[in-house]
Amino acid sequence: MSQANRGVVYKGPGKVDVESIPYPELALGNRKCDHGVILKVVTTNICGSDQHMVRGRTTAPSGLVLGHEITGLVVECGRDVEFIQPGDLVSVPFNIACGRCRNCKEGRTGICLNVNPARPGAAYGYVDMGGWVGGQTEYVMVPYADFNLLKFPDTDQAMEKIRDLTLLSDIFPTGFHGCVTAGVGPGSTVYIAGAGPVGLAAAVSAQLLGAACVIVGDMIEERLAQARSFGCETIDLTQDGDMADKIEVILGEREVDAFVDCVGFEAHACGCNHGKEAPATVLNSAMSLTRAGGQIGIPGLYVTEDPGAADEAAKQGALSMRFGLGWAKSHSFHTGQCPVMKYHRPLMQAILFGKVKIADAVNVQMITLDEAPQGYADFDGGAAKKFVIDPHGSVAA
């Protein structure tokens, strides 16, 4: 029986609205989706990646239902779902993965070959990611449920820590993945570019992995203060001066062992030119500031098409990088979507057993579905908060 449903809808550059949308069906186009479930959304988060679309920096069409960070209660299961049941509280990886293709079987769920006709990889509510309906909604359909979903072992326990567990759908695994691919380990010195939610999640992840010193750079003091609140060193990128000098003041050395780019393609130049967009500036800084033989993790988003870019090359995702320096220093670079399923279970355990307080680190702010447009506006203005939508008032209750 059809029910009411509402969601956050992209209406064009700078504008989102909360609108009535169709209640989800267990269907993929004209065929049944017997391997899927319908969720009553408990929490769904606003992501920096969503902001790229809302700013008009992608080819996202008007009318797209947003949201790829989803935690929900199962209310209906398809005929072929065996291990997930109605009433289960689950975390949804933002990557949609079939579990059957070569890449999924290798654990590369961020580049599943079967869920997006345009290219490898899919996500909910995101441009060029397969056309899947997003989850900043009251209800959403999730395919391949047995493979994709992480069931929380105890619903009451999970609800007590839902502000933390909601971050398992994307930013906590993404930040952790950035650190793992940058080679962070016990005793490492680490530079995190960007103190947005993913950057802060990466900073916490570096600490969890045993880093000796975590340095976070950003242009917004409120976000830098948030990084300092859990023990990070910080660098204000609006201030003039050589970055290696600033690193040396903190470490006594001019380079770090590991560098994590949590900014992506909308990066701005540092110092006196910080108001000018310079999409390759973080990547070039990474090569300058990472020791020879070090690793660079790049969870920050880079796009193939950027209509709002400053020059024609950048509009096609072509950036002016000093790649020869990275080659000369034998750097390793790791790009692409985080394969959330590789990390979400152990990170869940870290949360449930009190080893990490990720919600405090990224400063989770709960809002209602109707407050989502204001949440987008505040986040775009640089608020040092991670906005989490509570569509049914489940968390508030």
Q: 247: domain CATH number?
A: 3.40.50.720
Is the domain of 349 the same as that of 325? no
**pLDDT (tens place) for every residue of the chain, 397 residues total:** 458 999 999 999 999 999 999 999 999 878 899 999 999 999 999 999 899 899 988 889 999 999 999 999 999 999 999 999 999 999 999 999 999 999 999 999 999 999 999 999 999 999 999 999 999 999 999 999 999 999 999 999 999 999 999 999 999 999 999 999 999 999 999 999 999 999 999 999 999 999 999 999 999 999 999 999 999 999 999 999 999 999 999 999 999 999 999 998 887 766 655 667 777 899 999 999 999 999 999 999 888 877 877 788 888 888 888 999 999 999 999 999 999 999 999 999 999 999 999 999 999 999 999 999 999 999 999 999 999 999 999 999 8
- Could you list the residue range(s) of the whole structural domain that residue 359 is in? 6-170+339-389
For residue 44, what is the enclosing H or E element? strand 37-45
Is the domain of 322 the same as that of 175? yes
Is 269 among the domain residues? yes
Is the domain of 312 the same as that of 346? no
Q: Using alpha carbons, select from 382, 397, 387, 386 the residue that is nearest to residue 367.
A: 387
Is the domain of 186 the same as that of 291? yes
Note the helical H segments in the chain: 48-54, 102-105, 145-148, 155-160, 162-165, 171-181, 197-208, 221-228, 243-251, 281-289, 312-315, 323-328, 344-352, 358-362, 372-380
Is the domain of 229 the same as that of 166? no
CA distances from 160 to 140, 164, 184, 197, 351 (A): 23, 9, 31, 21, 11
Q: Calculate the CA 171 to chain-centre distance.
A: 4
Is the domain of 220 the same as that of 143? no
Helical axes 197-208 vs 221-228, angle rounded to 10°: 20
Is the domain of 94 the same as that of 181? no
Is the domain of 45 the same as that of 133? yes
Is the domain of 330 the same as that of 295? yes
Q: What does the block give as tokens for 240? A: 């003039």
Is the domain of 274 the same as that of 328? yes
Is the domain of 70 the same as that of 81? yes
pTM for the model: 0.95
Is the domain of 343 the same as that of 291? no
Is 397 among the domain residues? no
**Number of domains into which the chain is organized:** 2
Q: What does the block give as tokens for 15? A: 């504008």
